[in-house]
């Protein structure tokens, strides 16, 4: 293929160059490790920047692993805001979703990063394909998938991963090697490539539909149910807040304790106090039949935040879900730490133990990527205490997630809360009645706020404090 391009007078005014990289079919023991996909893509970026950085347009022709390198480069450049003026990419027999033969090769070879990258069900390829779709690469760059009809190494569904697009060419009698070995410039293999490289195809500009949304500013609410910094005046600071702040600064955190004792409020305040970005996810609406569905539900909520299409979960593996979640979180990164607060997980005691292992495995995948480590922080909240499920969590789980039990409030803190709310909601409340509410609350700040909410909403009627406390107790049971 290279000789045909070099000798073709139609390309006389075009500079042709070649990016060579170290590779071999099988790695033998005690031989140096081969560079992985990311390193190869970074190498291609350096190659193009140094040798062709000032070119008006660049076209890339890539075969097999070379196509994955090119695709990785393009998605990375779009995220970095640097296109290198790449206008076209011809992908010849590129295993976009992997090759089964690479899986086999990985079994007989000494650890081989390139074979691993080419394997079916490899999480890195799933992430790359999600990137390609989400970034709408083919709206920015002209892409042509060229595959061999006799290719037994890369099946057609891998060489052309996106169905329904009119940008593929099939050379019916070409296999994986011969597709890049035309017999002269009149060979169909070369003519197909040349027609794509020389075609004057209009470029499509990617248009963002994003619109600026002006947030609604709420006034400070003494009886807030969701903490925001505007409600700081009515937030009762406790010694527990400093514990949450300290634990959260060290890594991922899991809060456990009864409903209505301020787990989410304390977490939200710690996140805002740290100057971090917050996304709050509630999983109560999801049908989580078992821990294997927990990650799928979490990814579905992240996709909603990122405004990305959902991953088809019918036969999606854990690796598929993890790669999808990782891609979503890459999109949510910012200059500060991004925190995902997850609550209302409908899990029972039997499934909670396995769920923590599933989440721990997912967090380990995230933290192993330097682009996400320390930039993404998860905070989980559940009613069931991990210590009560009768399962000894592994040291790896406890290392990845800091479990923090949240107790009922002390009578002293409940009293302070009542004293904080009284002037704002019911200034004529006597000290004796304040004490009665504190005793009836049994350490629940939600109980206290519900009592005061009845007074503010004028739904208490002529009920005495004792009668109102009894009514609220019944409402909390329902």
pLDDT, tens digit (0-9, with 9 covering 90-100), for 234-253: 999 999 999 999 999 999 99
pLDDT in tens, 389-437: 666 778 889 899 999 999 999 999 999 999 999 999 999 999 999 999 9
pLDDT interval class at 348 (50, 70, 90): confident
pLDDT value for 371: 87
Backbone angles phi, psi at 444, to 5 degrees: -105, 110
The answer to which of 71-75, 130-134, 417-421, 444-448 has the lowest mean pLDDT is 130-134
Tell me the percentage of the chain whose pLDDT exceeds 90.
45
pLDDT surpasses 90 at 308: no
Can you give the pLDDT at residue 117? 53
**Treating both helix axes as pointing N-terminal to C-terminal, what angle do 465-477 and 445-456 enclose, rounded to 10 degrees?**
120
Q: What is the pLDDT of residue 3?
A: 83
Task: Please classify residue 252 by burial: count the beta carbons closer than 10 Å to its beta carbon, then call 0-12 exposed, 13-18 middle and 19+ buried.
Answer: buried
Paired tokens of 474:
């019944």
What secondary structure letter does DSSP report for 56?
Answer: S
Separation CA 116–CA 131 (nearest Å):
19
Q: Is the pLDDT of residue 124 over 80?
A: no
Residue 205: its pLDDT value, please? 45
Per-range mean pLDDT, top range of 222-236, 326-340, 388-402: 222-236
Whole-number mean pLDDT of the chain? 83
Q: Where does 233-386 show beta strands of DSSP type E? A: 252-256, 277-282, 338-343, 376-382
Q: Are 341 and 267 a contacting pair, CB within 8 Å?
A: yes
Band the pLDDT of 60: cuts 50, 70, 90: very high
If we measure between CA atoms, which residue out of 198, 251, 173 comes closest to residue 87? 198
């Amino acid at each position: 293929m290279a000789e045909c391009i070099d000798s073709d007078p139609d390309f006389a005014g075009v500079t042709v160059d070649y990016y060579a990289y170290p590779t071999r079919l099988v790695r033998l023991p005690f031989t140096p490790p081969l560079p992985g996909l990311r390193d190869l893509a970074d190498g291609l970026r350096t190659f193009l920047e140094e040798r062709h950085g000032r070119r008006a347009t660049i076209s890339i022709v890539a075969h097999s692993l070379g196509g994955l390198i090119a695709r990785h480069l393009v998605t990375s450049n779009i995220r970095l805001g640097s296109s290198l003026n790449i206008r076209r990419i011809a992908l010849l027999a590129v295993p976009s979703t992997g090759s089964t033969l690479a899986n086999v090769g990985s079994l007989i070879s000494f650890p081989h990063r390139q074979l691993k990258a080419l394997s079916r069900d490899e999480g890195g390829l799933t992430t790359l394909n999600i990137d390609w779709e989400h970034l709408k690469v083919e709206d920015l760059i002209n892409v042509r998938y060229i595959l061999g009809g006799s290719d037994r190494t890369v099946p057609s569904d891998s060489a052309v991963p996106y169905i329904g697009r009119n940008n593929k060419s099939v050379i019916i009698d070409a296999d994986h090697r011969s597709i890049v070995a035309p017999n002269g410039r009149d060979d169909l293999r070369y003519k197909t490539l040349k027609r794509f490289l020389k075609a004057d195809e209009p470029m499509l500009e990617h248009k963002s539909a994003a619109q600026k949304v002006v947030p609604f500013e709420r006034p400070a609410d003494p009886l807030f149910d969701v903490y925001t910094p505007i409600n700081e005046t009515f937030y009762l600071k406790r010694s527990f807040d400093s514990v949450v702040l300290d634990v959260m600064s060290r890594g991922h955190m899991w809060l456990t304790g009864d409903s209505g004792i301020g787990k989410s409020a304390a977490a939200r305040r710690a996140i805002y106090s740290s100057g971090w970005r917050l996304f709050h996810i509630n999983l109560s609406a999801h049908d989580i039949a078992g821990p294997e569905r927990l990650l799928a539900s979490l990814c579905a909520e992240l996709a909603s935040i990122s405004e990305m299409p959902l991953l088809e979960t019918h036969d999606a593996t854990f690796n598929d879900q993890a790669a999808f979640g990782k891609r979503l979180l890459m999109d949510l990164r910012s200059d500060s730490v991004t925190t995902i607060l997850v609550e209302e997980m409908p899990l029972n005691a039997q499934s909670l133990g396995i769920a923590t292992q599933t989440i721990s495995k997912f967090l380990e995948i995230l933290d192993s990527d330097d682009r996400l480590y320390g930039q993404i922080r998860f905070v989980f909240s559940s009613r069931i205490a991990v210590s009560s499920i009768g399962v000894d969590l592994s040291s790896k789980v406890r290392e990845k997630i800091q479990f923090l039990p949240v107790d009922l409030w002390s009578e002293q803190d409940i009293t302070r809360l009542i004293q904080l709310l009284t002037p704002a909601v019911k200034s004529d409340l006597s000290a004796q009645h304040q004490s009665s509410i504190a005793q009836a609350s049994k350490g629940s700040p939600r109980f206290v706020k519900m009592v005061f909410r009845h007074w503010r909403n004028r739904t208490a009627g002529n009920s005495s404090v004792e009668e109102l406390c009894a009514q609220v107790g019944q409402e909390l049971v329902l």
